[in-house]
Amino acid sequence: MTEAVIKILIPISTFWNSLPQDTEHALNSITNERFTLKFHSTLTESVININFEKIKRTSLKIKTDDHPALENYLSAYCKIYLDYSLIKEYHEKYHIEECAISYDQEDSYLLEVANEIIENLYNFIICCNLAAPSVLNPYLPFIIFINDINFYHHLSFGHEFHEFIDQKTDLDKKLEILDIPSTWKWLSKQDGFIDGKSSSTNVSRAICSFCNLFNVQPSYLMSHANYFVWSMLGLESLYASGTQGVLQQIKEKTKITLDLEEKHQKLIGKLYNYRSRFFHGQIDLYNPHLFDSLSDETLKLDRESANYHYVAFTLFLLSMQYCAKNDLSELKFEFIQVEN
């Protein structure tokens, strides 16, 4: 056996170029071998241990074609011990011939291992963006280093998340920066997050809804609608019991969990009026393929709809942070009837 080093460089969001101190602390909590991410690789038939470090873009000896404002990457790195019998088995199984690719068998196998690592990093990226919203930029290309060879991994993953975070609503002031290792530990205990099971509680259903915010969507309209639908599903998973009086339940329960003010309660009322019209087909839509040539009136209506999408998303993100920081596997409420 010989050894190979794989590094996956994940862009740190340009949104955080001047990182607030608590966000910088959140990143530091997973770097310099303070935190190890483990998963079982089907390709290497072993447990892969991933550590993290923060590196500057200027330190790279390659030209990067990503966003010019990007300054830093989070490097996920690990050592792989090569079993050549597994490499041969991999090539025979998938009928890969050296002449069909530009790499030798070892490099092509390691590139596939790197892709497997990236797939397992998706959940970790979701965790980071729950704990420290928008801290990582997964819609920009990842850079893969296999020993001294570099490759690019292009995937638009969660590309609207940063746009939604960047929208200023009256609620986003309540967003917090949570500890990433603690958030990962909490998420990993919930059904459906990494165990391949289906969700079983209101919290695990909400987590799976949150994961769907990071699906690839092909258009602006579908992205916004996607975020609204999954945010509303997540909110109602957490707060709604039964199908009656959903608005009142969410108003009362978010007031308890999120300490919302009266103005926020009124905002939720407007949100649910929009929700009713949205799900009953009463919202005017447009052809997303004509987005660059829409009328001023249509753009105005679109902005109004987007505002409600942002509100739903922020309420959902705040609620997820509440569950994470309180280590909840199920969100329960008890109501006591007070007699006059």
pLDDT recorded at residue 182? 95
CA distance 67 to 56: 14
pLDDT recorded at residue 156? 57
Going by the DSSP 8-state scheme, the letter that residue 101 receives in this structure is: S
Better-predicted residue by pLDDT, 105 or 331: 331
pLDDT tens for 37-83 read 999 988 888 999 999 998 887 787 776 655 555 678 889 999 988 88
Chain centre to alpha carbon of residue 212:
8
Query: What mean pLDDT is reported for the chain?
Result: 82
Of 188, 222, 226, 224, give the one whose Cα is nearest residue 207: 188
pLDDT tens for 235-291 read 999 999 887 788 999 999 999 999 988 889 999 999 999 999 999 999 887 777 776
As a whole number, mean pLDDT of residues 177-182 equals 93
How far is residue 198 from each of residues 190, 195, 339, measured CA to CA in Å? Answer: 10, 9, 41
Better-predicted residue by pLDDT, 166 or 142: 142
CA distance 226 to 313: 10
Buried b (16+ CB within 10 A) or exposed e, 282-298: eeeeeeeeeeeeeeeeb
Asked whether the predicted pLDDT for residue 162 surpasses 80, the reply is no
pLDDT recorded at residue 97? 53
Q: pLDDT above 90 covers what percent of the chain?
A: 32
Asked whether the predicted pLDDT for residue 164 surpasses 70, the reply is no
Going by the DSSP 8-state scheme, the letter that residue 337 receives in this structure is: P
Residue 39 host element (H or E): strand 37-41
Q: pLDDT above 70 covers what percent of the chain?
A: 81
* pLDDT-based confidence at residue 20 (cuts at 50, 70, 90): low
Better-predicted residue by pLDDT, 165 or 268: 268
pLDDT recorded at residue 163? 64
* pLDDT-based confidence at residue 312 (cuts at 50, 70, 90): very high
